[in-house]
């Protein structure tokens, strides 16, 4: 008899996470006949696999029988694989992309405003790897040439990290570390950094595997900054999800990975007025003291109305602190590479486009002073930011200042 898996009550999942009680059970199950199960992630360390579970598969007898076999013979626990959201407000709807007007503001204006061009006199990010944890990176573009692509990266089973199913990851990689040196359209903040492509659909099992890789590479001596533009799309405080990702991220941070997150694009979703610095709409792990959370403003330093506000869901509790930490600019009608096309975005690039700027800045700093501690890097970025004419809950310490940060490190 087929036993159905209860669907999650609050979020739609297209994957199931299957956890085994021991490594012996994990490996024994891999040799079992499991009809209909398409494995996307296999993680021996955490004794977990993730399998595709579209609605139609759940109704098929062979699929259900395979799940029963894993549960009854091998003691597997089967739960929905929690999925985070790409930071994707309506600004990333292709219908909202504008035509490419060469005279529109672009990444060049951002680099000038934040002092990145001046910072290049002392550092261009060489020797540092920036992991772009996102939708993949378009490997056909010249902004990230093969010579600056890490030999390491991650993608689900059967996929390539150097393909981008959305375009979003290519945008973030370009902002963090793009270069014109090989014919690219844009320079990014750290144009000589190595780029590690980590392609994900933002499932817990995928992010866990990615951060295990980052941990292992850091333990092997690689200096890594991680750029993350995903979150939980909600206007009210979400309950903490039951996930493995947070433990994997903690392990990576302890191994030396420097982690940056977008603050979120949820201010309007939370009912906040455009010019208000509340209510809180920065959720969960983005409130941690061991990561930086980044908001976004226009080039005139007025906050974008969607940029999430602090002090954050867990501000004031142990291991957390008020957010956002800093703000980075994204231009109105700003030109940027998105997938394989340069587009103009009327409403800026979201906090998705702010986060990789700070990841690039961290790469500049680590390249100049590789032995800097996480706290020293965080404080350098925060303490050199330029105060803005809004409360901390809007902008954190203010607009990032690459020029002063590189001078201070």
Fold of 85-408: Rossmann fold (3.40.50)
Q: What is the pLDDT of residue 10?
A: 35
Q: What is the pLDDT of residue 1?
A: 23
Delimit the domains of the chain by residue range. 15-80, 85-408
- Diameter over CA atoms, the chain: 69
Angle 23-30/61-74 helices, nearest 10 degrees? 150
Partnered with residue 258 across adjacent β-strands are: 225
Q: What is the pLDDT of residue 33?
A: 75
Kindly state the DSSP code that residue 385 receives in the 8-state scheme.
Answer: S
Total-model pTM: 0.94
Q: What is the pLDDT of residue 202?
A: 97
- Strand 292-297, strand 326-329: pairing: parallel
Residue tagged 């969607």 (tokens): 306
Residue by residue, pLDDT tens for the chain (409 residues) are: 223 333 333 334 589 999 999 999 999 999 887 777 889 999 999 999 999 886 656 556 667 888 999 999 999 999 999 999 988 656 777 777 877 788 899 999 999 999 999 999 999 999 999 999 999 999 999 999 999 999 999 999 999 999 999 999 999 999 999 999 999 999 999 999 999 999 999 999 999 999 999 999 999 999 999 999 999 999 999 999 989 999 999 999 999 999 999 999 999 999 999 999 999 999 999 999 999 999 999 999 999 999 999 999 999 999 999 999 999 999 999 999 999 999 999 999 999 999 999 999 999 999 999 999 999 999 999 999 999 999 999 999 999 999 999 999 9
| Reduced DSSP (H G I as helix, E B as strand, rest coil) percent helix, strand, coil of the chain, to 5 | 30, 20, 50
Q: What is the pLDDT of residue 391?
A: 98
Partnered with residue 85 across adjacent β-strands are: 231
């Amino acid at each position: 008899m087929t036993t159905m898996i209860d669907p999650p009550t609050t979020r739609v999942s297209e994957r199931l996470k299957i956890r085994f009680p021991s490594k012996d059970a994990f490996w024994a199950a891999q040799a079992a006949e499991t009809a209909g199960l398409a494995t996307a992630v296999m993680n021996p360390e955490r004794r977990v696999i993730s399998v595709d579970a579209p609605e139609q598969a759940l109704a098929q007898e062979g699929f259900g029988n395979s799940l029963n076999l894993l549960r009854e013979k091998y003691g597997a626990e089967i739960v929905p694989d929690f999925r985070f959201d790409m930071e994707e407000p309506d600004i990333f709807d292709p219908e909202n992309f504008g035509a490419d007007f060469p005279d529109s503001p672009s990444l060049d204006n951002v680099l000038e405003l934040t002092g990145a061009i001046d910072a290049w006199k002392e550092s261009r990010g060489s020797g540092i790897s920036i992991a772009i944890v996102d939708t993949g990176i378009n490997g056909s573009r010249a902004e990230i040439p093969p010579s600056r692509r890490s030999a390491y990266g991650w993608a689900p089973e059967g996929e390539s990290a150097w393909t981008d199913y959305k375009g979003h990851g290519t945008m973030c990689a370009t902002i963090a570390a793009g270069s014109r040196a090989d014919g690219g359209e844009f320079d990014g903040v750290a144009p000589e950094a190595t780029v590690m492509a980590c392609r994900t659909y933002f499932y817990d099992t995928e992010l866990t595997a990615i951060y295990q890789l980052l941990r292992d590479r850091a333990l092997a001596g690689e200096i890594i900054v991680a750029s993350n533009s995903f979150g939980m799309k909600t206007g009210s405080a979400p309950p903490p999800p039951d996930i493995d990702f947070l433990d994997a991220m903690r392990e990576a941070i302890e191994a030396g990975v420097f982690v940056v997150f977008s603050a979120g694009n949820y201010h309007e979703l939370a009912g906040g007025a455009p010019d208000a610095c509340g209510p809180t709409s920065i959720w969960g792990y983005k409130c941690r003291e061991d990561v930086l959370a980044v908001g976004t403003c226009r080039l005139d330093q007025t906050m974008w109305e969607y940029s999430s506000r602090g002090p954050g869901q867990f501000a004031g509790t142990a291991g957390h602190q008020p957010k956002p930490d800093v703000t980075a600019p994204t231009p109105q009608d700003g030109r940027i590479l998105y997938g394989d096309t340069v587009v103009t975005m009327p409403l800026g690039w979201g906090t998705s486009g702010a986060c990789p700027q700070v990841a690039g800045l961290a790469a500049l700093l680590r390249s100049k002073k590789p032995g800097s501690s996480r706290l020293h890097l965080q404080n350098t970025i925060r303490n050199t930011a330029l105060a803005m004419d809004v409360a901390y809950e809007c902008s954190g310490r203010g607009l990032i200042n690459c020029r002063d940060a590189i001078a201070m490190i």
